[in-house]
């Protein structure tokens, strides 16, 4: 195959991938209703719930205060988990975390694990590591299961199979079933329910992420609408939760503040159907729940972010609201971003985790319209962070083309000197402005042509504003 | 990675990051996020249950509750019920009632002496789950479940049909109230191994954003609210 499939690659050129996405008819159909459904629900949630303004501010303050003493809260979390009979592991990076998990599973002879939707395990490519270790991972969130069958990656934080249409999903599940399934969403869900029930009943371990971890109680909080997270922490004998260190919140009393804004931001629900507080292994008399409870704390670049100016990106609670309202995401979908996290927050996180020059186009994949910040349940200043990343990028050696550097240099100099500015605007209107009737430049010359590859450049006007102003006699 | 090195790195980064702390508005308080409920808690709770796709019924007595439950049983004709052991279910008279309905009661008393494989087989085969709750929430139509021996998670999770029997005094107004009550249990060191808030039938929108119920948990979600004060009040017009 000569064409690259941008839904599968782990790392790729953003410009190529987004151009492919724009002409992918299926994807465009899938993305078409994001604005009418998910984005609308987010807007309505904030409009109809006046308490959300102080709650979002409080949630933001709790995140900020927690990060200020993050090590202290992690120690409290560890002590609470231990007290209740669980174990805590520390993973410096993704490979570390995968090794910790596979070691635990191997030493117990585990062959098959059920997983509840987790972006953190996507981030560290845990499924690949499990398969390499001879352990079968089965995703149990319906969307994740479909994405796993398609051998793609999730394209949305909370709706992983958003990019797939009914015929593709029908095909994938029918192939999995070994027969042609009836072609309705209800029948396909019924098939997945039966298929995955078997997986839950036979799995040796359950692996989850965490929406939050409460330090005071050693609680792993899991939120889902389907119930698969509950089954994952109820049926298997072993539960392993893998979470980034920024997921910790100090107190049980902090949790309702986040719960009140998370589901509203994500799907417009007051609460998701199931909010589970997994507080440790089963007690001796209990009939269900895991015998063993492991918490893996993951750094994987988070401390690098914590010490720097984009620290606020660690406030993110992964609701997906910024994706739903973003005009860029709604045109290109999640895969084109090329990282685990997509949309506006992905455009901040991916360069931070994976390197700025590797992802040089992501900070520019935004119109800076501010919709993301307005939708965010913890009010993260995403546009400002994107501007900071753009600024950092231009300071990277070799990042700026000489022609671009010249153009910006000239622009900067002219803005500082009124005489030079007047001369250049006079020159522009007398030359390009007079010969070009349409008002738009379709193609800029030489190395500047990159600007006009996908858009037009506004041509200078026929007359300067300054000249028009004095001609009209307005002082 | 070594624990001490890991935590030392976090500590160092958190300290360096202090200069990038965000501006905090000191005027906001937790109380500003509290949803005050003006109407009757039962009315609000059942309205919210209906909004999330549940089927609420309010009855004035346990006797009426048994009649309603019998109606629900006529729809699904269950042969076995996976049940909690709970004071509200005792007041309902669940054990005797299930016997008259000729439905096998599966609960902790039956399961505890069994081997794990048998327990699992019986749990998975149940046709309906019947529980009460630890608290119910008027703000959201949720059931708050503190799971422990006798009040198993599987009852509200594994069977395709679910019936909750809630008594009026179990209903709290706001999510904050529920967490205050859970905090009291924590302070008394009576902290369960699992707590779940359930707000409606199991749902997914993963296939073309179309809503489908009952994907992993129950798709039929019935809530019977027993409001014994209702008989004392004039019936609504």
Q: What is the DSSP letter of B151?
A: B
pLDDT at A454 over 90: no
Geometric angle at alpha carbon A58, from A57 and A64, rounded to 5°: 90
Distance CA A38, CA A303 (A): 32
Contact B7 A74 (CB under 8 A): yes
pLDDT at B236 over 70: no
Q: Which of A197, A195, A196, A143 is nearest to A169 (CA)?
A: A143
pLDDT at A38 over 80: yes
The answer to whether A294 touches A87, Cβ cutoff 8 Å, is yes
The answer to whether B129 touches B162, Cβ cutoff 8 Å, is yes
Averaged over B49-69, what is the pLDDT? 98
Distance CA B232, CA B61 (A): 11
Residue in B118, B149, B215, B219 to test binding to A, most A beta-carbons within 10 Å: B215
Asked if B117 reaches chain A (Cβ–Cβ under 8 Å), the answer is: no
Asked if B47 reaches chain A (Cβ–Cβ under 8 Å), the answer is: no
If one counts every other C-beta atom within 10 angstroms of the C-beta of residue B76, the result is 15
Which range, of A128-132, A238-242, A425-429, averages the lowest pLDDT? A425-429
- What pLDDT score does B232 carry? 60
How does residue A434 score in pLDDT terms, banded at 50, 70 and 90?
Answer: confident
Distance CA A197, CA A203 (A): 10
- What pLDDT score does A433 carry? 74
How does residue A396 score in pLDDT terms, banded at 50, 70 and 90?
Answer: confident
pLDDT at B10 over 50: yes
If one counts every other C-beta atom within 10 angstroms of the C-beta of residue B159, the result is 26
Contact A51 B7 (CB under 8 A): no
The b-or-e profile of A30-68 (16+ CB within 10 A means b, else e) is bbeebeeebbebbbebbeebebbebbbbbbbbbbbebbb
Q: B172 - beta bridge partners?
A: B137
Q: Which residues contact B143 (CB under 8 A, 6 or more apart)?
A: B131, B133, B135, B136, B137, B156, B164, B166, B197, B198, B199, B223
pLDDT at B234 over 70: no
CA distance B231 to chain A (A): 31
Distance CA A38, CA B211 (A): 13
Distance CA A413, CA A418 (A): 10
- What pLDDT score does B237 carry? 44
Which of B7, B158, B204 is closest, CB to CB, to A225? Answer: B204
- What pLDDT score does B133 carry? 98
| pLDDT digit string, tens, across residues B64-111 | 999 999 999 999 999 999 999 999 999 999 999 999 999 999 999 999
Find the residue in A nearest to B120 (Cα).
A201
- What pLDDT score does A452 carry? 83
The answer to whether B53 touches B219, Cβ cutoff 8 Å, is no
The answer to whether B200 touches B221, Cβ cutoff 8 Å, is yes
Higher pLDDT, A407 or B60: B60
Find the residue in B nearest to A81 (Cα).
B193
Distance CA B38, CA A355 (A): 53
CA distance B41 to chain A (A): 17
Q: A441 - beta bridge partners?
A: A457
DSSP collapsed to 3 states, chain A: CCCCCCCCCCCCCHHHHHHHHHCCHHHHHHHHCCHHHHHHHHHHHHHHCCCHHHHHHHHHHHHHHHHHCHHHHHHHHHHHHHHCCCEEEEECCHHHHHHHHHHHHHHCCCCEEEECCCHHHHHCCHHHHHHHCCCEEEECCHHHHHHHHCCCCCCCCCCCCCCCCHHHHHHHHHHHHCCCCCCCHHHHHHHHHHHHHHHHHHCCEEEECCCEEECCCCEEEEEECCCHHHHHCCCCCEEEEEEEHHHEECCHHHHHHHHHHHHHHHHCCCCCCEEEEECCCCCCCCCCCCCEEEEEEECCCHHHHHCCCCHHHHHCCCCCHHHHHCCCHHHHCCHHHCCCCCHHHHHHHHHHHHCCHHHCCHHHCCCCCCHHHHHCCCCCCHHHHHHHHHHHHHHCCCCCCHHHHHHHHHHHHHHHCHHHHHHHHHHHHHCHHHHCCCCEECCCCHHHHHHHCCCCEECCCCCCHHHHHHHCCCC
| pLDDT digit string, tens, across residues A16-32 | 899 999 999 989 998 98
Interface of B with A in 60-89 (CB under 8 A): none
Instruction: Give whole-number Cα distances, A446 to A437, B114, B119, B191, in Å.
Output: 22, 80, 75, 70
Contact A71 B140 (CB under 8 A): no
Rg of chain B (C-alpha set): 22
pLDDT at A1 over 90: no
Say how far residue A141 (Cα) sits from the centre of its chain: 17
Contact B216 A253 (CB under 8 A): no
| pLDDT digit string, tens, across residues A65-109 | 999 999 999 999 999 999 999 999 999 999 999 999 999 999 999
Q: What is the pTM of this model?
A: 0.93
Contact A252 B186 (CB under 8 A): yes
Q: Please give the structure tokens belonging to residue B93.
A: 């008279």
Mean pLDDT of chain A: 92
Q: Please give the structure tokens belonging to residue A195.
A: 């298929």
Which of A52, A227, A311 is closest, CB to CB, to B157? Answer: A227
Distance CA A295, CA A134 (A): 22
Interface of B with A in 10-39 (CB under 8 A): 10-14, 16-18, 20-22, 24-25, 28-30, 32-35
pLDDT at B187 over 80: yes
Which of A91, A197, A309 is closest, CB to CB, to B1? Answer: A91
| pLDDT digit string, tens, across residues A250-265 | 999 999 999 999 999 9
Residues from chain A contacting residue B28 (CB–CB below 8 Å): 54, 57-58, 61
Distance CA A213, CA A220 (A): 5
Contact B186 A58 (CB under 8 A): no
Higher pLDDT, A336 or A475: A336
Q: Please give the structure tokens belonging to residue A77.
A: 């979390």
Higher pLDDT, A15 or A294: A294
Contact B10 A141 (CB under 8 A): no
Averaged over A315-339, what is the pLDDT? 95
- What pLDDT score does A357 carry? 87
CA distance A457 to chain B (A): 37
Q: Is residue B85 helix, strand or coil?
A: coil
Asked if B175 reaches chain A (Cβ–Cβ under 8 Å), the answer is: yes
The answer to whether A314 touches A352, Cβ cutoff 8 Å, is no
Q: Is residue B237 helix, strand or coil?
A: coil
The b-or-e profile of A201-233 (16+ CB within 10 A means b, else e) is eebbbbbbbbbbbbbbbbbbbbbbbbbbbbbbb
| pLDDT digit string, tens, across residues B207-230 | 988 899 999 999 999 999 999 997
Report ipTM (2 d.p.): 0.96
Asked if B125 reaches chain A (Cβ–Cβ under 8 Å), the answer is: no
Contact A192 B215 (CB under 8 A): yes
Contact B157 A165 (CB under 8 A): no
Find the residue in A nearest to B107 (Cα).
A287
CA distance A285 to chain B (A): 6
Asked if B139 reaches chain A (Cβ–Cβ under 8 Å), the answer is: yes
Which of A70, A189, A287 is closest, CB to CB, to B215? Answer: A189
Asked if B50 reaches chain A (Cβ–Cβ under 8 Å), the answer is: no
Q: Which of A474, A373, A350, A442 is nearest to A14 (CA)?
A: A350
Rounded to the nearest 10 degrees, how much is the dihedral formed by the CA atoms of A273, A275, A280, A281? Answer: 0
- What pLDDT score does A437 carry? 67
Contact B195 A276 (CB under 8 A): yes
Residues from chain A contacting residue B124 (CB–CB below 8 Å): 197, 201
Burial of B31 (0-12, 13-18, 19+ CB in 10 A): exposed
- What pLDDT score does A71 carry? 98
Q: Which residue, chain included where needed, has tokens 């971890």? A: A213
Distance CA A322, CA A324 (A): 6
- What pLDDT score does A7 carry? 60
Distance CA A191, CA A213 (A): 33
- What pLDDT score does A342 carry? 94
Higher pLDDT, A290 or A464: A290
Which range, of A28-37, A55-64, A252-261, averages the lowest pLDDT? A28-37
- What pLDDT score does A3 carry? 38
CA distance A357 to chain B (A): 23
Residues from chain A contacting residue B183 (CB–CB below 8 Å): 252-253
Mean pLDDT of chain B: 95
Distance CA A82, CA A56 (A): 32
CA distance A177 to chain B (A): 17
- What pLDDT score does A448 carry? 75
Which range, of A307-321, A460-474, B6-20, B113-127, averages the lowest pLDDT? A460-474
The b-or-e profile of B63-73 (16+ CB within 10 A means b, else e) is ebbbebbeebb
Q: Which residues contact A296 (CB under 8 A, 6 or more apart)?
A: A88, A89, A90, A91, A97, A100, A101, A240, A241, A242, A243
- What pLDDT score does A37 carry? 85
- What pLDDT score does B153 carry? 97
Asked if B6 reaches chain A (Cβ–Cβ under 8 Å), the answer is: yes
């Amino acid at each position: 195959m000569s064409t690259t499939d941008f839904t599968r690659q782990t790392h790729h050129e953003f410009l190529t991938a987004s151009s492919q996405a724009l002409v992918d008819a299926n994807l465009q159909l899938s993305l078409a209703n994001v604005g009418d459904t998910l984005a609308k629900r987010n807007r309505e949630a904030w409009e109809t719930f006046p308490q959300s303004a102080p709650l979002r501010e409080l949630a933001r303050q709790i995140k900020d205060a927690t990060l200020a003493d993050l090590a202290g809260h992690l120690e409290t979390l560890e002590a609470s988990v231990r007290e209740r009979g669980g174990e805590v592991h520390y993973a410096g990076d993704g490979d570390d975390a995968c090794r910790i998990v596979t070691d635990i599973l191997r030493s117990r002879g585990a062959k098959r694990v059920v997983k509840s939707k987790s972006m953190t395990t996507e981030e560290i490519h845990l499924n690949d590591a499990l398969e390499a270790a001879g352990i079968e991972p089965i995703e149990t969130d319906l969307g994740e299961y479909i994405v796993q069958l398609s051998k793609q990656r999730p394209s949305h934080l909370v709706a992983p199979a958003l990019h797939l249409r009914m015929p593709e999903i029908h095909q994938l599940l029918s192939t999995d079933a070994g027969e042609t399934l009836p072609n309705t969403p209800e029948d396909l869900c019924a098939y997945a329910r039966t298929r995955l029930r078997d997986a839950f009943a036979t799995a040796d371990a359950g692996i989850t992420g965490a929406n939050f971890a409460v330090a005071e109680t050693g609680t792993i909080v899991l939120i889902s609408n389907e119930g698969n997270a509950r089954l994952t922490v109820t049926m298997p004998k072993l539960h392993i939760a893998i979470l980034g260190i920024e997921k910790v919140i100090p107190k049980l009393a902090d949790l309702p503040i986040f719960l009140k804004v998370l589901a509203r931001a994500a799907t417009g629900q007051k609460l998701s159907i199931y909010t589970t507080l997994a507080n440790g292994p089963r007690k001796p008399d209990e009939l269900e729940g895991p015998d063993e409870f492991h918490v893996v704390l993951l750094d994987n670049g988070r401390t690098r972010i914590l010490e720097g100016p984009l620290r606020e990106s660690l406030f993110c609670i992964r609701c997906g609201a910024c994706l739903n309202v973003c005009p860029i995401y709604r045109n290109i979908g999640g895969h084109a971003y090329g990282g685990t996290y997509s949309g506006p927050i992905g455009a901040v996180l991916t360069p931070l985790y994976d390197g700025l020059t590797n992802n040089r186009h992501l900070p520019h994949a935004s119109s800076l319209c501010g919709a993301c910040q307005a939708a965010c349940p913890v009010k993260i200043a995403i546009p400002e962070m994107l501007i900071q990343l753009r600024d950092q990028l231009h300071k990277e050696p070799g990042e700026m083309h000489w022609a671009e550097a010249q153009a910006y240099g000239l622009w900067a100099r002219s803005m500082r000197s009124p005489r030079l500015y007047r001369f250049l605007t006079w020159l522009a209107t007398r030359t390009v402005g007079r010969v070009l009737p349409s008002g738009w430049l379709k193609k800029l010359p030489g190395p500047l042509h990159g600007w006009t590859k996908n858009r037009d450049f506004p041509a200078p006007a026929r007359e300067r504003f300054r000249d028009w102003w004095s001609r009209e006699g307005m002082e | 990675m070594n624990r001490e090195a890991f935590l030392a790195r976090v500590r160092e980064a958190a300290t360096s990051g202090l200069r990038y702390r965000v501006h905090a508005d000191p005027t906001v308080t937790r109380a500003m996020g509290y949803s005050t409920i003006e109407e009757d808690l039962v009315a609000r709770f059942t309205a919210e249950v209906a909004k999330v796709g549940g089927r609420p019924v309010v009855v004035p007595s346990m006797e009426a509750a048994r009649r309603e439950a019998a109606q629900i049983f006529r729809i699904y004709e269950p042969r076995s019920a996976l049940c909690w052991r709970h004071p509200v279910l005792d007041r309902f008279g669940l054990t005797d009632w299930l016997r008259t309905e000729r439905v096998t009661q599966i609960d902790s008393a039956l399961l505890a002496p069994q081997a794990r494989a048998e327990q699992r087989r019986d749990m998975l085969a149940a046709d309906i789950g019947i529980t009460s709750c630890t608290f119910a929430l008027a703000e959201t139509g949720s059931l708050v479940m503190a799971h422990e021996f006798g009040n198993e998670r599987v009852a509200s999770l594994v069977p395709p049909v679910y019936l909750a029997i809630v008594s009026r005094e179990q209903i709290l107004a706001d999510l904050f109230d529920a967490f205050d009550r859970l905090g009291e249990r924590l302070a008394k060191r009576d902290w369960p191994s699992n707590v779940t808030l359930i707000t409606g039938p199991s749902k997914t929108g993963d296939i073309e954003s179309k809503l489908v119920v009952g994907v992993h948990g129950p798709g039929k979600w019935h809530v019977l609210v027993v409001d014994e004060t209702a008989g004392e009040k004039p019936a609504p017009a």
